[in-house]
Amino acid sequence: MKIGIVLYPTFGGSGVVGTELGKALAKKGHEIHFITYSQPVRLGSFRENIFYHEVAVSDYPLFEYQPYETELTSKMVDVVKYEKLDLLHVHYAIPHASAAFMAKQILQSQGISIPYITTLHGTDITLVGKDPSFEPVITFCINQSDAVTAVSESLKKDTYAHFNTTREIHVIPNFIAPNMEPSDISSEVRRKYACDGEKILCHVSNFRKVKRVEDVVRIFSEVNKELKSKLILAGDGPERYSVEKLVRDLGICDRVIFLGKVRDTAHVLEIADLFLLPSETESFGLAALEAMAVSVPVISSNTGGIPEVNIHGVTGYLSNVGDVEDMAKNALKILKDDETLNTFKVNALKRAHDFDLEKILPMYEKIYFDLVPDKA
């Protein structure tokens, strides 16, 4: 099948999922056309069956804001028409679903029929999408999509709660991509960051408010008082200045390592003992799954779709949003001795396998083949 995939090419979870899905589909023999404004960070080098179409964003002086959606739509029309695509799969509703709807209408006027699937990822529903400045468009696009998927039961529930839709929403959880296999140099790398006996706590995000990175630092600070540890922070974003200030104010600069943006977070995660994800809201928590996939247990909030991934008392612990004290207490419970830590590590890895790519990929393919039965 020839599939066009539209996504945000950055470090965000939706872009990672869309890219890894495309790579896996290409490996299975589908022809994948990524359509976006820059090369997706997880795309990597040349691969069979993968094509990348860049959306050029113009900077005509009249435009105070660039009409990206219009240019994306035109590119989608062009690629569908000339590459003879069978379907479009858009990740993150804003503005990809409305661009897909528009592209579909334009193509229909030219006698070309193309279905589009919208995958809802989280903030497109729970934060940005439900804002009145987006809501009517999102509701319309959800209702017009040929199929809609959401990455967790929680996100599906939120979609029904916030939008006027009775549309069937298929829950297809996120998955572990094969490049997250552990490497054999981790113990060597680990020694560069932590002395013998020190534990490594880790957090990976885009440092937006919703991630509550200051809570990460406060949890770590409590843990570090009892158990000498290091905190590795990977990622960057608007909250970084305030997080750096907090680290200085708490006097723990020598304990906290800011890595900035990292392409291959799996290699950072695999030197960690514990992953911290105290988010305000999280439709799934791909970062937590990525940690579990390299045997790292998770201390998280109990919000959104996280409880569908992290199992309380088994793969980590869940606490109420903002309950830093409880999260620190739980972290110490896991780190207190090697035997306990090891049990949580084993459980985390086992749980991560529930989200193996081989289990999830056929769920997307089923939707594709239902929409384009002659390609099945």
Q: Kindly list the residues in this chain that would bind ligand GMT in the complex (CB under 6 A).
A: 12-15, 17, 92, 121-123, 126, 151, 174, 206, 208, 210, 281-286
Please spell the DSSP secondary structure of 165-206, one letter per residue. Answer: ----EEE----B-GGGPPPTTHHHHHHHHS-TT-EEEEEES-
CB of 209 to ligand GMT, least distance (A): 10
CB of 9 to ligand GMT, least distance (A): 11
Q: How far is CA 148 from CA 86, 145, 257, in A?
A: 17, 6, 40
Please spell the DSSP secondary structure of 52-99, one letter per residue. Answer: EEE-PPP--TT-SS--HHHHHHHHHHHHHHHHT-SEEEEESHHHHHHH
Which of 85/286 has CB closer to ligand GMT? 286
Which of 22/285 has CB closer to ligand GMT? 285
What is the DSSP-derived secondary structure letter of residue 132? Answer: T
Q: Please name the residues in contact with 220: beta carbons below 8 A apart, sequence gap of 6 or more.
A: 201, 229, 231, 252, 255, 256, 276
Which of 8/224 has CB closer to ligand GMT? 8
Q: How far apart are CA 59 and CA 69, in angstroms?
A: 14
Q: Which residues pair with 89 in a beta bridge?
A: 5, 117
CB of 357 to ligand GMT, least distance (A): 14
Q: How far apart are CA 48 and CA 293, in angstroms?
A: 26
CB of 196 to ligand GMT, least distance (A): 34
Comparing CA positions, the residue from 156, 184, 159 lying closest to residue 171 is 156
CB of 104 to ligand GMT, least distance (A): 23
From first CA to last CA, the distance across the chain in angstroms is: 8
Which of 123/265 has CB closer to ligand GMT? 123
Which of 212/218 has CB closer to ligand GMT? 212
Which of 98/283 has CB closer to ligand GMT? 283
CB of 283 to ligand GMT, least distance (A): 4
Which of 77/298 has CB closer to ligand GMT? 298
CB of 211 to ligand GMT, least distance (A): 7
Side by side, the strands of the sheet bearing 169-171 are 50-54, 31-36, 2-6, 87-91, 116-120, 147-150, 169-171
